[in-house]
Structures are given as C-alpha cells and as structure tokens.
Chain A
Amino acid sequence: MNIIHHPQPMPRRTFLKGAGITLALPWLDAMSVRAASVTTAGSIAAHETPRRAVFSFFGLGINGRDFTPAETGPNYKVTPILKPLDALRRDFTVISGMKLTHSGGHVGDRTFLTGTNTHSAGVKLRVSCDQELAAAIGKATRFPSLTLGIKRGTGFGGNQDQTISWAPSGTPLPSENRPHVIFDQVFRPDTAETLNQREAEFARRNSVLDSLRGEARRLSGSLGAEDRAKLDEYLTGIRDLERRMQDEKEWLRRPKPNVETLNFGKEQGLDPEKAGLEYRRYQRLMFDIITLALQTDSTRVIAYMPRMDGQDGTGSWRELGNPYNYHEMTHHGEDPDKLKWFTQADVWYMEEWAYFLNKLKAVKEGDGTLLDHTLVAYGSSGGAINAHHGHHLPAMLAGGARLGVKHQGHIIKEDVRLGNLWRTMFERMGVPVPANFQGGESDGVIKELA
C-alpha cells in the first residue's frame, strides 16, 4: 500500500456524528469522502481507502438448529436467528461446518485466533492473527489495533480468557470494556500537561533502555552461542519496544480526529464489571465506537470478544426476562424452555450484530460504504450442533465487497479449519500470510469468497 504522510489542513470544521443519532444524514455522506481525509487520524492518501478487519468472538456457540440455513447459496430460506440480518443478505456469507482442531468443550477462546492448543500445559502460547495483521499494517494508524472485550484485562491464570489477542511471545493483551474509556483514548484530545508527561516518560524509558542495551551487549560477548541467542531475544525486545515508542511519539503531537462526543447517557449500567449492566445500551455504544474508530482511520484492526467462553459476561438478556445464563442454555438437554430462550437470546444478540453491520453500511466511503471496506468476522469456538464442540462452528464473514469479497449467502465448508477464514481475510487485506500461520491450523483460502 502506498502510504503517504498527509498532514491535511482542516478546510472546514468537521464533525462525525456518532451514537446512532444522525446516521443517514446526507451531509455526512458529503463530508465523509473518506474518514482519513476528514481529519488527520490516518496517514493515507486521498485516492486510497484503507482496508480494515474486525475479528469478533462470541463464546459458546449458537443454537444451530435455528441459525444454520437448510439451503446453501444466496436464496436460502431465512432462519429465526438470521432474521435480523435479512435486509443485509447480500453483505455477508454464513460459512457452516468449519472446525477448530484444538477447541473442545469449553475454553476454545484461546485457540480462536491463534490456532494452537494453548490451554494445555506444555504448549507454547503463540501470536493471534489480529496481532500479525497489526504488525503488518498497524504503523499507518495511531492504534495498530484495538483489543476489546466484555471483561477488562486478560483473565490469564484464571479459567477463561478475557481477550482473544496474543502478542508474538504468547502474552495475552488486555481487553478494554468501558465505552467512555475507549472513546477517550481514541478521540479525547490530550492536554498539554499529559503530552509533556508522556514525552518525559518516553525520554526516561529511552535512557533506561539505552543503559540496559549497554549491559546486554557486554554480557553477550561473554556468552556461548545458545545463551547469546537467548539474550538476542532480550535485545530484540528492547529494539521492538523502542520502535513502538517511536511510533507512539510520532502520533503524540498529531491531533486526534475531531468527532462529536457520543451520548453515553448515565455511566451506571455501562460497566460490565458491575451489577446492573444495561446490555443493549452498552453493546450498541461499543459498536458505535468501533465504527467511529474505523471510520476515522484510528485503527484498521480490531479484535473483539463480546461474549466469553464460559461465564458469558453479558448477562444473557436477564433484563429481558431470560432466566438462564448462556452456558446453561447451550447444555439444554432438550429442555424445551431452555431451547426457546436459547433461540430468543441468539436473536437478540443477532439484532445487535445487525445494528453494527447497518452502522458500518450507513457510513459512505467513496462510492461504497465503510462496510464494503471492512472485513467483519463473526465466529465462535463452540459448535452449532448441540453443546459446544470444536466443530460445526457458527461463522460469518460480512462486508469487504470493495476488497474483493463475493458474498454467497450460505456455504458449507465441512471440516475446514477456521484458520482458512483468517487466511482468506489476510488475502483480501493484501497482507502476506506470516510463517507458521495459526501454528499450521490453516491450509488454504475459502475460494468461494475470493
């Protein structure tokens, strides 16, 4: 991609309205030739449109009998759970039958974007593909990627993960879950004081890192070949961190995109760590912010865990009367009441998903929409056939029409690895697939989509 630094003077005061308030207003269309040109968020030339990817993980599967269409092709008969998406039928493809080799029962969260059997002892934790993508294209935006989830932190060391992002060393990257905090990070202009503090901190760190490098180099000379290789990891770590800090520093004094503050409403009810989460309001705000972040080219890669793989974290629509948590419903044991709520809850989740896709679609970009320039993956590590096994996963790729994705309605890829969907996305992003992709759990692309 031809990246041109493009410090564009602001010809007019431009606001991006958020929060589902003024979505389809014609002026937005006129203004938003493309997000990057609206503000200085991205560093992309006017004739280019960024390619983006969103990976979403919904833990514990879905009620497949009310989700998976009976027919394949574009004219499948709509199922109850897909109904909220029906108006968008040409914008996504349901891909049935895929598997994750290392997901079994619970805790398939960790294998979702890494491909590896990472919950079992003795297996090396490894990088997730959103981070591989960020490493390839992240330099072009203020945030190489965003890691979001329904719970804050990593959850590492506990029984279930709270993130689907893993650094190259196999270190979990913490999720953020507070809409206003993400909004502040991405859009709130920093005060002069914060900027000065950050710069002082960078300077201090550089001084410490310089000094550490001195010691490491001296030590390196006294080591045998193997130990030196170990120490090289250390030196490489320092160098990578310095580069990352350099990137951050370059963004530091560049203004953040100018958007109108979202209407968050009262903060109470928006923290999933606390009781009384108003799930629908919360979920929509999260999707609003994701849309804004993509639209302003603040990032091009997002990994999102809106529902976890054990305790779902969302409350499963308790406030709408659902008496069960998501896990209980997946183990329905043919109990008709649980099955009924299972489908109902899935429909509600899908209504939120439809909200998100519609939101992306409502943003005009060039002669297409933001959705057309974004690959949006919906997936799970739990199957769609009774309980949650590692096969017959519910999966869906939405958007990306302008990136060459040809939507097929419903296709069946029996026993094909989920890693092949990620590979397909890399191909559409124009990013070469890294070595040992998915730890070997990917052996081709999904041709029908490309």
Chain B
Amino acid sequence: MSTRPRLPVRFVQCISSLLTLGTAALAAPAPGTADGAKIPRGFREIAQPFIEKSCLECHGEKKAKAGFRIDLLGSDLTVPKVAEQWKELIDRINAGEMPPEGKPRPDVKQAAAFVGWVSGQLRELELAAKNAGGRIPMRRLNRDEYANTVRDLLKLDEKIVRPLTEEMPGDGKAEGFDRLGVALFFDQTQIERSLDVAAKIAAKAIVTQPPKTERMITHFEILRKKPPAEMVEVFPAFEHKIPRGAKDRIVRPDFIEHIQGYPTYKKETAAWGVIDHFAIGKVVTQDGYYRFRIKAKVDNRARREPNKFRLQYGMASPIQAESEVTLDPSGTTETRMFLRGPVNGEVKGPQVFDLLWNHTENAVIREPKYAALVSKWTGLRGRMEQAAVRRVSQAEMDALKQERAGLEKELNAWTGVANIYNPAMDLEKLPRLQIESIEIEGPIEKEWPPASHKALFFAGDKRSDAAYVREIFTRFLPRAYRRPVTKVEIDEIVAVVSEAQGKGKLPFPEAMRVGLQRVLCAPGFLFLEEPSGANPQRRALNEYELASRLSYFLWSTMPDEQLFSVAVAGKLRANLAAQVARMLADPKSSQFVENFAGQWLSVRDYGSIQPAADYRDYDKPLERASKQEPLAFFTEVLAKNLPVTSFLDSDFLVLNERLAKHYGVEGVSGPEFRRVAITPEHHRGGVLGMAGLMTFLADGTRTLPMRRGSWVLRELFNDPPNNPPPNAGEIQPNTGGKSLTVRERLELHRRDEICASCHFKLDPFGLALENYDAIGHWRERFNGEGIRGPSAPVLDVSGKFPDGKKFATLEEYKAGLMVQKDKFARALSTKLLTYALGRPVGFTDHEVVDSLTATLKKNEYRFQPLIHAIVASEPFNTK
C-alpha cells in the first residue's frame, strides 16, 4: 500500500534520544524530540534497564557489533525492516541467542518482561498502522456481502447466486474478521473476476428463453436382464464359489422388488439401504433445480412406519446434496433438488446419485457359521497389520501366517450358502419396495420468467426503446447504489447499453445484460461509499449511509425496503433502536451470527482437523453438529438477550441428538437443535468444551494445550500471547513405548528457562481443558496416540492463573474465568466493535470500549444492550 499514514509517534519514538535522556536523567525533553517525545508506558521501568544492561554494551554507539545499533533502531513500523528488526530482536532473545554466550545471562523474568513489552508496543503500532481509532475507511463488499446483496437486489435464488460468487477472489482478514477495509484489497484480478461474475449473474437475471433441459430415465432394464448371480465367490474372493442363498432383491416382470438395499457402511445411514447408484453427469450439466420422479410402490405388509427415500448426490464432496422425501402411495414420488454441475469445466465432486430407502436392516444376513469364519479372517488381518507395525519376531509372524492358512482352508472348504433370511424376522411380514423407474430432469425453473427479470423489466418484454432503458435504470440504480443517484450516473449506464446495441450489435436483452454488468462492477455498488471530501473533521453519516452501515452490520446485505423508506423519510437516526430490534428479530440476522460468531469462535475452520482413526466416535454427523452448535448457542444468547457471560459458562447448551450423545446428555432426540439444561456432572457449559472447538484446537491425534490456551487468551480475553520464537520446539510424539501425557512432555520442554517465561502465562489456560480429548470427549485418563484403557495415566489439570490464584479442576478454572468477566466483557466489546466498524479498534478507542463495557455491566451483561450501544456509539454514526 502506497499511502499508509505516517504513524503518530507512540513507540520508542527515538530510542537514541530516550536512551540519552535515560542516562542523562529523564528530566526535560531534549531538542529534536519536540513532537511529544511521549515516553511509552513501561519504557523506563522495563525496557530501558534491560537494554542498558544487556544490549547497549555491544550494540551501542561504541561497538555496534554485527553492524547493529539498538539505539538507532527506528520506531516507524511502516518503514520496511523496522518492525522486522524489532521482531528479530525479541526472537533472538527468546531463542536464547542474545545476549550471546560468555556474556552475563539476563534475568529470565526481566527478559520475559522486555519481550512482552516490545510485543505490546509492536501490536499497538500494528493497530495504529491499520488505522485503528481513525476514520472508518471506505471498503468494498466482501464475498458474503456481495452474494447477499446480489440476491436481494435482483431477487435471485440464493442457491443460484452463491456458486457464481465463489469465483470471486477470497477476502483478506484483519483482526480476525473479513470485513475490515484494511484487508479488503482491490486489483486487476478483483475487477476481472467482478466482470466475469457480473456477466454470469446478468445472464441469470435477464433471460431470453428457458434453459435447455436434460432428461434421463433409468428403467432397471439391465437389472432385469441380469438378475443377481446364483453363485458368489467365497470370502475373501478365493477361486471357489458358493451358492448365494437368500436374496435381497427379486426381478419381477415390471419392477424390481427389494426386501433390503445394499448397506451404506456408514453409521449415520445405518437404517438406510442403497437401492440404486449411478452417474448423472449427463443430466446435471449446470447448477440448478432438478426434478426427480421415482415410480415405486411399497407392499407394506406388517410395516406401520412411513416409507421414505433419501436422495444423495456427490457425497463427501463440495457439491454434496441430500434430501428426504416420503413415498407417495400413488406410485409416483416427485421431489426437487438443487444440484451443482461443472463450473468452468471444473467438476467439484463426483456427479453420482444414490437412492436410499428406509429398508429393513439385517433382513438378509450371512449364514452364521460362515459369518464367524469371515470375521475371524478379517480380525486376523488386523492383528497381522499390528504385528508388522510392532515388528514382532519372525516366529510370531509365522504363527500368524499359519493361522491364516488354516482359516483360508476352512473358508475354501465352505460349501453352504453365503446368505440366509434372518430367522429372527418373519419374512412374510417384511415390506417390499417395488421400483419401476427413476427419471431426472432439469434444470427446471420455479417460475418463468424469473422474478429478477420481471422486477427489472417492470413494463414487460414488449418495449425495447431507449426511454425504457432509462426508466429501468432510473428505478434500479438507487437500490443498487443504496442512495439517491444523479442523472449523470444514469446517463452512464444508458450509454453503455446503447453502445452495446449500436457498436456491439447486441440484441436488446443482451445489451441490457451489459448494462447490468456495468452496474454490478461500479464503485457505487461494490464499495460502501461515505464521501468525506477534504474535511479532516469527522462528520455525521447521512441517513442512507447509516442505513447501509446498519444493514451490513446486522444482515451482511443491503437495506430492505422498510429501512430504505425510514432513511428516505429522514427518520432513521431518531428510530435506531426500533430498527435494530426489528432487524435482530429478522431471519437475515443469522448472517450476523454466521459472520461474527463464525469467525470469533473459529467455526469456519472446524472440520479442517481430521481426527485419527482411533477416535471411532468421530463421524460426519458429529462434525456437522459441532459446526452448528456454537452458532445455535450464540443465536440463543442473542435472541433471548442472555448474559454474554454464558459464553464463559452456562447451565444450558443448545444441542441435537448426535451432540447430546457425545456429551452424555440424556433425553435429546432428533437432528434439530434446542436448548437443553445441563448439570455439573455433564462437565460442559459455555464455549469451552464445545466439541467443534476442542477438536479444532487439537491435531487429530492428541490435544494441543498451547493452542487451546492461546485461543482462550486471544479470543475470550483479547490478550494474545506473544508469538512463539522461531524453531520453538514441538511436543514430540511418545517414543520407545513411553506413555507420557501431553502435560508431562510439555514439562520437559519447559525446563528451558526462556521457554518457561512464556509458558508460565499460557499453559494453565490450555492444560485446564485437558479433560476434553482431541474430539472434545470427556476423559479423566489420558487417551489418544494409541493409549487407552484403565492403565493410562490420570490427567492432572491443575494450574495457577497469572495472578497466583490456583485451581485444581476444570470447574475451578471456569469459576476463575468467571471472576474475570469484566475483562471478557471488554474483549467481546472490542471484537464486536471491530466487526461493526470494519476497522481495528485500538488504544484511541478506549473511551468507547469503556462505555460499552459499562453498558454490559449495567445491564447484567445482557447481549442486546451491547449491540444497541454500538449502533448508538459515535464512531458508528460518523465518517
């Protein structure tokens, strides 16, 4: 960036002069330090003694070893290298390289204090460099805001818009959020992709004729010609064949009759059987809605529960889609699904369709004696793999091989059937699915022409004169720019359309698309404009600007009609509180939850850590539920206006069945999330302990207490720990048959004094959470990394807060956090203000943050007053 502001002098303004002053008594500011020479807090007490004692002898005026003089080290971090040098300086001290061997070792606590002080100053300067406390900079919409705005502006289906906007470049983050002007850049790629995406959106919004649809019917003819083979290979596919025995499906003249589908081999779909499975890439050539028409009936016999189909597409891929439908007794079941096709030739997942039926599980089973042999064989295979890893003796291996040979002999001697009907069930009473055909057709339109088209061409498709173009954009542009527009602005769009028609020889609708593309790439659309002219003073926002700020804060999209009309009437500022209340109650506020809480609580990153296979409880439903839990919890606190301290600890959680099972909470059934009261023996409450967060703050095999501790400090208390020095060791895996807990291994690492100085502050915050394993399961003994069972070491989660207060259990730790609720309230206020303003919040904002924190305190820490206070605050209302 070419035009970063020069920093206000706040850091060690000029070390040289300060040090000179320091030695010559810091009485009066020396000449040349006239612009304040405000000595930063802590410099005299912490930094100066350390520099003088440990650095200056070699890196001062006299020696300047390695060409480095600490007294000349500048303080303007926007000058390249300066910040890096400060960073390197503390890295060297951290790594114990400086002062070098042979020189007196600094006192560990003093060194830590110095490093902490420099880090704090660097952080303060970094914030200042990003314009904390300053004017809210103009910024462009981020990807989510862009997609939402296009959806609302053009009345397009969100499912159509979202995939198109994926082609927009990703957004930079600053201070943990992707809506800060300082990180939302614009360049050639941004404008290029904006043009591409806008052209595609315009093609969806303005239509000429219905899209060509594809159709495909599967009649099961192949199956009919080729019923299941009578003989099957004996497991595990030896040459010998045996009779199949009981069959799960029978070929009838007009349909296939299923007693049972194929197993899905997935816990989550255990009650479902796969009826068919085929590629549908030929039909799904683009994103859109597709109609499924399944001709099937069920001969229910003794079945009382409803029959359902589950339709799956592109499973375990980015294009995954699933839907459930109840079988229509008429014999034709219809449903619609949104399916994703290739994007620019890039297929984002397997275009494979699966049809599942809630069949009778285990209606056909393996013949028990045969099944026993098979399971012995697979068990033995597992043991042999284990033995290879353990590098057992040759003799032991030979014994296993001999055992396997014996089993294989037995399997090869098997001449009975492979399968039987489950004798525990009455075959005659089991339901039969009779399926005839599956037809897939699409893409289909909900209505024609689509709402977007009808809204734009308000007078229909008959007119195509120049005046119509002007009328259309006169209506459209103020909504697109979220403010009144000038005639010149309309002229510009009209000119583009007429050039496309004239020189470009495009027919009317296509020329209109070019006009729409032009609007969607305009600064007026892409940026949140709040022109301030040359006026250096802050000014109050006008009503339209305020409406947009509010709307993008709480909805991540443009103002709706009501908000616009309040702004047009000039009554928004006077009615802010009422609008905020209305907007929070609107479903669109879920975008605030997703975008604020989703980033604050790291939810967007859940799922990036894949737990190892020995965490058998971990499955996709758990992963999905654990991504929803924090958002559902946040929604509950927000909507019910509960105290924000609920995030630290709470006597309730918001759960569904899968998570409740994971947490050992009884009596929750069904996939939907609801508030559930919990008691102390559940060992949960607040965000710490949520499965998604605990999994994310682990590495899939073991917990990472450092990462958990630093998350707690950074996100809950806005007190980020110093960065680890380069080459900071990692906690090593257990070797040589040892079974040390993570804590024990960490203590080995902490024997180094320098490391200890940082870990002293950090460790307790993470080690206290050791009772949650790498997937957030409660444990009292160490597990993971191949260790489990009653002989595993018992965990010690005790520790000490930096102020010396001790805790022995997770409960005491959380009580200790609760004591610091004011610090948490301040941290949350800072985060929320950062998000609301779209700029970092720093030192100069302390009065606003103080007053927000006070508001929380005054209102029993309830959430909504904080949001009202932010919206009412001076920075939110001014440019």
Contact = CB atoms under 8 A, between A and B. Distances in A.
Interface of A: 101, 105, 121-125, 152-153, 156-159, 167-174, 181, 200, 203-205, 207-209, 211-212, 214-216, 218-219, 222-227, 229-234, 236-238, 240-241, 244, 273, 333, 335-337, 435-436, 440
A152 B345 contact: yes
Most buried by B among A101, A158, A337, A440: A440
A122 B174 contact: yes
A170 B172 contact: yes
Contacts of A226: 3, 5, 131, 134-135, 137-138
B315 to A, nearest CB: 15
Nearest to B198: A208
B504 interface: yes
A231 B347 CA distance: 36
B504 A203 contact: yes
Nearest to B2: A229
B138 A440 contact: no
A311 B851 CA distance: 50
A245 to B, nearest CB: 9
B361 interface: no
Contacts of A211: 492-493, 495-496, 518
A337 B135 contact: no
A167 B172 CA distance: 13
Contact of B169 (A171, A204, A223, A234): A171
B529 A167 contact: no
Contacts of B170: 125, 156-157, 171-172
B210 interface: no
B608 A159 contact: yes
30 contacts: A101-B726, A122-B173, A122-B183, A124-B183, A153-B348, A158-B318, A159-B608, A169-B185, A169-B186, A169-B189, A172-B169, A173-B189, A203-B503, A204-B504, A207-B514, A211-B492, A211-B493, A211-B495, A224-B531, A226-B138, A227-B137, A227-B138, A227-B531, A231-B523, A236-B188, A237-B188, A237-B191, A240-B187, A435-B80, A440-B84
Contacts of B560: none
B326 interface: no
A238 B1 contact: no
Contacts of B181: 230
Interface in B163-190: 166, 169-170, 172-176, 181, 183, 185-190
B187 A236 contact: yes
B391 A336 contact: yes
Closest 9 CB pairs of A and B: A171-B169, A169-B187, A240-B188, A222-B531, A229-B3, A227-B138, A233-B186, A224-B532, A237-B191
A434 B582 CA distance: 52
B346 interface: yes
B500 interface: yes
A383 B669 CA distance: 48
B189 A167 contact: yes
Interface centre among A158, A226, A435 (most CB of B within 10 A): A226
A209 B188 CA distance: 12
Contact of A241 (B134, B169, B188, B608): B188
Contacts of A205: 195
Given A121-B605, A125-B170, A212-B521, 4 more contacts: A181-B345, A227-B532, A230-B186, A435-B80
B388 interface: yes
A214 B212 CA distance: 39
A327 B284 CA distance: 33
Nearest to A175: B346
A215 B500 contact: no
Given A227-B531, A233-B186, A208 B195 contact: yes
B138 A230 contact: yes
A223 B533 contact: yes
Contact of A121 (B176, B488, B500, B726): B176
B524 interface: yes
A208 B389 contact: no
B531 A167 contact: no
Given A121-B176, A204-B514, A215 B191 contact: no
B574 interface: no
Interface in B85-139: 131, 134-135, 137-139
Nearest to B1: A229
A208, A335, A336: most-surrounded residue (chain B CB, <10 A): A208
Main secondary structure of the interface of B (DSSP, over half): loop
B523 A219 contact: yes
B535 interface: yes
A253 B191 CA distance: 25
Contacts of B24: none
A101 B87 CA distance: 14
Given A152-B346, A237-B188, A335 B534 contact: no
Contacts of B175: 122
A200 B3 CA distance: 37
Given A124-B172, A224-B135, A233 B185 contact: yes
A209 B867 CA distance: 40
Nearest to A224: B532
Contacts of A233: 185-187
B187 A237 contact: yes
B173 A207 contact: no
A105 B533 CA distance: 49
Contacts of A232: 2-3
Contacts of A231: 138, 523, 527
Given A169-B169, A171-B169, A208-B521, A223 B187 contact: no
B842 to A, nearest CB: 15
Contacts of B391: 336
Interface in B501-532: 503-504, 514, 517-518, 521-524, 526-527, 529-532
Interface in B439-490: 488-489
A230 B514 contact: no
B499 interface: yes
B396 interface: no
Contacts of B186: 169, 230, 233-234, 237
Contacts of B137: 226-227, 230
B481 to A, nearest CB: 10
B187 A168 contact: yes
Contacts of B499: 207
A215 B190 contact: no
B192 interface: yes
A208 B135 contact: no
Nearest to B186: A233
Interface string B696-714: 0001000000000000000
A365 to B, nearest CB: 33
Contact of A212 (B518, B533, B605): B518
A121 B190 CA distance: 20
Contacts of B1: 229
| Most chain A CB within a 10 A radius of its CB, from B188, B493, B531 | B188
A156 B138 CA distance: 26
A387 to B, nearest CB: 9
Given A159-B608, A212-B518, A233-B186, A200 B172 contact: no
B523 A215 contact: yes
A203 B504 CA distance: 8
Given A225-B3, A226-B3, A215 B529 contact: no
Contacts of B518: 208, 211-212
A172 B522 CA distance: 23
A224 B533 contact: yes
Given A208-B496, A215-B523, A224 B188 contact: no
Q: Which of A200, A205, A212, A232 has the most CB of B within 10 A?
A: A212
Contacts of B531: 219, 222-224, 227
Nearest to B318: A158
Contacts of B532: 223-224, 227
Interface in B216-230: none
A440 B173 CA distance: 20
B26 to A, nearest CB: 34
A238 B189 CA distance: 9
